Amino acid sequence: MTDETVSVGPTRRQQWALSIAMFLITGAFGFLQTFTSLYLSAAGLQLKEIGLVTALGTAVAIFLQPVLGRLSDRWDTRRPFMVLAALGSAGAYLLFRKAAGFEQFVLLTALGVNGSQYLNTVGGVLVGRMVRATGGGTAYVRYRLWGSVGYIVVALTTGGIVKAYLPENATLNRADLDPLFTYAPLLFLAIAVASLFVPDVKNPPPTDRDTAPEAIEPPRTPQEQANLRWFLTAFFLYQFSLYGASAYLPLFMKSLGASPLHITAMYAGGVLIEVAVMSQVGRWVDTYGRWPALAASFLLLPVRLLLYVPANSPLHVMAVQTLHGFNFGIIGTIAIVFVNDLARNHERGTIQSRLAVTQGIGVALGPVVCGFLSDRFGIPTMFAVMAGGALLTAAVFWTRVRETHPSPKPLPAGWRFLQGAPMRPSGDGSG
């Protein structure tokens, strides 16, 4: 199998392989997001211990992500790393059934999260090398949309399977969830196969054998570097608030009397909205810029977290969870496009790994803090505190982050308050 250069577009087979890989990669989260915390709880871990497993496991993965990004840039290849990441995650989650205690769960979570994080990030790198900057939103969303479809299919399928073999109103025991962690991780083996065929566009060879890739493209300006730093700061706070709180949604639903199918349907409902949002947002941000869509997502997050506080039934939580479609439907895709705007071809893997590390730190620390708050004050109070953190996040984004689209059209009248300020062509680099 020959690798492509930037002058050769992906074949139809490669486009299908990338769509299938996205379907499976995000689909795997359809069972991980729903059942990992339930499995850890069934294995006897307390809420704060569940948060620590997530935090420590993710922390180990964080150290490996920049290494994988730099190596993939240096060797100018991504397929082998995708295969290894998929196989690592498959092995980790298959071994959950054998784990005996806190330490073993931490090690397995580290291996599983490292693989899934890299796979989730590399799609942005693959697409970023295939398209022009102004069309990056449409192109990435076109492929990532298949991931949301995969999430819905896997979430509803796994929830239905668990419900089918459990008695009505049964308490979830570890043995009840063991079959799920026997078969669902096999999705990662399918990802490994699909990864062999995805489009892996190469940098063009330099005209001078001694010319480094950095010399072919201009380096990022001080303004671009500052903009990236501020965006990663806001992105960290966003992930900290959202996924710290979301880690306890399955347990919150369970406390309200929800069945496994209700829990997976809660996530699937949000992803259905996500599909609708994604189908439009890529083209929209290529027209009007990245900033307005991202700003709307940042503003919505504190509202969503506050709406969980008075929930007293699974249906209430399911209704609020539909807002996740606007949160992740925008930031889950456009954050990658935003970072691609600021990256050069020879550093896309490295820059996207910085985004993954930032997300990983937020996902690692958030559940620890939320686990402490939930144990001490209850899950509803934890949601309220995280809503305050999300409001701070929105303030950071609105005041410090700048538009990256080179030539966005003005927003329609009445929506101009969402128009992002472009980066200054010159200045002190403050962003």
What pLDDT, on a 0 to 100 scale, did the predictor assign at position 305? 95
Q: Which residue has the higher pLDDT, 361 or 211?
A: 361
pLDDT at 342 over 60: yes
The answer on pLDDT for 251 being more than 50 is yes
- How big is the CA angle at 118 (ends 64 and 177), to the nearest 5 degrees? 100
DSSP-based three-state secondary structure for 203 = coil
Q: Residue 371: pLDDT above 70?
A: yes
Mean pLDDT across the chain = 79
Asked whether 64 and 353 are in contact (CB, 8 A), the reply is no
Question: What whole-number percentage of the chain has pLDDT above 90?
Answer: 16
| Dist. CA 311–CA 221, nearest whole Å | 47
Q: Which residue carries 């989650």 as its tokens?
A: 93
| Alpha-carbon gap, residue 54 to 106, rounded angstroms | 7
The residue type at 26: T
pLDDT at 215 over 80: no
Angle formed by the axes of helices 187-195 and 79-94, nearest 10°: 170
- pLDDT score recorded for residue 258: 80
pLDDT of residue 428: 44
Write the CA distances from 190 to 72, 79, 88, 304, 402, integer angstroms: 21, 14, 13, 35, 39
Higher pLDDT, 248 or 234: 234
Ranges 63-77, 127-141, 285-299, 396-410: which has the least confidence: 127-141
For 9-54, write each residue's pLDDT tens digit.
Answer: 567 777 787 888 888 888 888 778 778 878 888 888 877 788 788 7
Question: CA-to-CA distance for 51 and 379, rounded, in angstroms?
Answer: 13
Helix 222-246 and helix 324-342: axis angle, to 10°?
A: 150
User: Quick check: 329 and 274 in contact, CB under 8 A?
Assistant: yes
pLDDT band (50, 70, 90) for residue 65: confident
Q: CA-CA distance, 338 to 220, in Å (whole number)?
A: 14
Tally of CA atoms within 13 A in the half-sphere of 138 that contains its CB: 10
Torsions phi, psi of 321, nearest 5? -65, -20
For the residues 361-380, what does the mean pLDDT come to?
85
| 3-state SS, residue 4 | strand
Residue of higher predicted confidence among 376 and 351:
376
User: Whose CA is closest to 28, among 69, 86, 105, 67?
Assistant: 86
SS3 of residue 350 by DSSP: helix
Selected residue with higher pLDDT from 286 and 131:
286
Work out the average pLDDT over 396-414. Answer: 86
Helix locations, 129-221, DSSP H: 136-165, 174-177, 180-183, 187-195, 213-216
For the chain, how long is the longest CA-to-CA vector?
70
The pLDDT of residue 311 is above 50: yes
DSSP code string of 374-387? HHHH-HHHHHHHHH
pLDDT of residue 388: 93
Q: For residues 266 and 322, what is the distance between their CA atoms, to the nearest angstrom?
A: 8
Q: Among 163-172, 225-234, 404-413, which range has the highest average pLDDT?
A: 225-234
